């Protein structure tokens, strides 16, 4: 019996020695938490914020809580008039009603296309790009809240045909609650 207990004790000793390397005696989380707090603090303190692009005259932008602030870029304003960087091009009513001069591109707005094409060609010559290549330069669209989506679709198609592939829609950024909860249907 003494041999059995010695064998058992030896076996338990070997087992304890084998699994001792897996035993953690202490885990100190304070330095880890301090490091994460420091990283968050410095990332928030050094975050860069782009300059807010001025809103085109006569354009009442919708509001948004999510998104980035506007960067310096070409801006098409769609209010009572269609503008490019605050330079009037034509009235929005005329832009919505004008017929495309290209039968295979029915959404094209000819006057806006001409102005955007001049800007695109200028950017291409500065960047030494081929004549019909698409541009990486951003083009922002500031559309009035009351703007019809059909006009927005035409402006976006015209910008794409002029060579702008990076088109963004701008809204006012607010800090209000996202949305009021929906009321139950009666």
Domains of the chain: 2-45 (no CATH), 63-173 (3.30.420)
pLDDT per residue, tens digit, the chain (186 aa), is 556 688 888 888 888 888 777 766 667 788 888 888 888 887 777 665 544 566 777 777 766 555 544 445 788 888 888 888 888 888 888 888 888 888 888 888 989 999 999 888 888 888 888 888 888 888 888 888 888 888 888 999 999 998 988 888 887 766 654 444 444 444
pLDDT tens per residue across span 92-108 = 888 888 888 888 888 88
Secondary-structure percent of the chain, ordered helix, strand, coil, rounded to 5: 40, 20, 40
How far, in Å, CA of 19 to CA of 21, rounded?
Answer: 5
* Maximum distance among all Cα pairs of the chain, rounded to whole angstroms: 106
- Is the pTM value of this prediction over 0.85? no
Residue whose entry in the numeric block shows the structure tokens 């070997």: 14
pLDDT in tens, 108-135: 898 999 999 988 888 888 888 888 888 8
Contacting residues for 54 by C-beta, under 8 A, at least 6 apart:
86
Q: Is 59 exposed, middle or buried (0-12, 13-18, 19+ CB in 10 A)?
A: buried
How far apart, in whole angstroms, are the C-alpha atoms of residue 97 and residue 90? 11
Of residues 117, 93, 120, the one with CA closest to residue 105: 117
């Amino acid at each position: 019996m003494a041999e059995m207990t010695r064998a058992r004790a030896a076996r338990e000793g070997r087992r304890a020695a084998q699994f001792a390397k897996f035993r953690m005696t202490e885990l100190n989380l304070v330095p880890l938490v301090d490091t994460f707090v420091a990283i968050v603090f410095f990332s928030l303190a050094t975050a860069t914020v782009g300059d807010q692009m001025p809103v085109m005259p006569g354009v009442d932008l919708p509001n948004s809580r999510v998104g980035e602030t506007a960067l310096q870029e070409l801006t098409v304003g769609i209010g009572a008039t269609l503008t490019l960087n605050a330079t009037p091009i034509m009235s929005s009513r005329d832009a919505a009603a004008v017929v495309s001069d290209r039968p295979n591109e029915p959404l094209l707005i000819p006057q806006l296309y001409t102005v955007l094409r001049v800007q695109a060609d200028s950017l291409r010559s500065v960047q030494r790009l081929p004549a019909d290549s698409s541009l990486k330069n951003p083009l922002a669209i500031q559309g009035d809240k009351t703007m019809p989506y059909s006009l927005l679709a035409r402006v976006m198609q015209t910008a794409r045909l002029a060579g702008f592939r990076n088109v963004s829609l701008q809204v006012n950024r607010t800090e209000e609650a996202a949305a009021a909860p929906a009321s139950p249907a009666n």
